[in-house]
Amino acid sequence: MKTGIRVLIAKPGLDGHDKGAKIVAKGLMEAGMEVIYTGIRQTVDSIVNVAIQEGVDVIGLSVLSGTHVSNCRELMEKLEKEDLHRDLFVIVGGIIPKNDVRVLKELGIAEVFRPGCTVSEIAQFIQNRVSK
């Protein structure tokens, strides 16, 4: 039986900068969530496999490489193919141009956290969304 909110934090693609992802992971743990961090340079397939194995409520992608649209499109297609798109939701953070936020939300991304947001804002969004 699952207790608490389970969050997967992942760094897709070749982006090797993960300081922000680690800060978010630590902050979410301090907010009482169980966090699984996959580390850098993950494939979409590996992210989905970990999400399935761990039974997460949320996948949080950290993208700083400019590949956020293609990564999110591939992830959302894979989640739909695996019939997981109703069981969990996806958030994205990183260097995301304002013009791409609409595109990401049209793909099914629940929320986009751009530079300047706080970890407490992310935690509050997750808590509110999971409690619905």
pLDDT in tens, the chain (132 residues): 345 999 999 999 887 888 999 999 999 999 999 999 999 999 999 999 999 999 999 999 999 877 889 999 999 999 999 888 788 999 999 989 999 999 999 999 999 999 999 999 999 999 999 987
The CATH number of the domain holding residue 22 is: 3.40.50.280
Asked if residue 132 is part of any domain, the answer here is: no
pTM of the entire structure?
Answer: 0.93
Fill in the amino acid letter for 37. Y
- The answer to whether position 40 is within a domain reads yes
Confirm whether 75 is domain-assigned. yes
Q: How many domains does the chain have?
A: 1
Indicate whether 80 belongs to any domain.
Answer: yes
CA 22, 9, 53 angle in degrees (round to 5)?
A: 135
CB of 75 closer than 8 Å to CB of 63: no
Q: Which amino acid is at 2?
A: K
- 3-class secondary structure per residue, 22-90: HHHHHHHHHCCCEEEECCCCECHHHHHHHHHHHCCCEEEEEECCCCHHHHHHHHHHHHHHCCCCCCCEE
**Sheet bearing 111-113, strands edge to edge:** 34-37, 6-10, 58-63, 89-94, 111-113
What domain range includes position 65?
A: 6-118
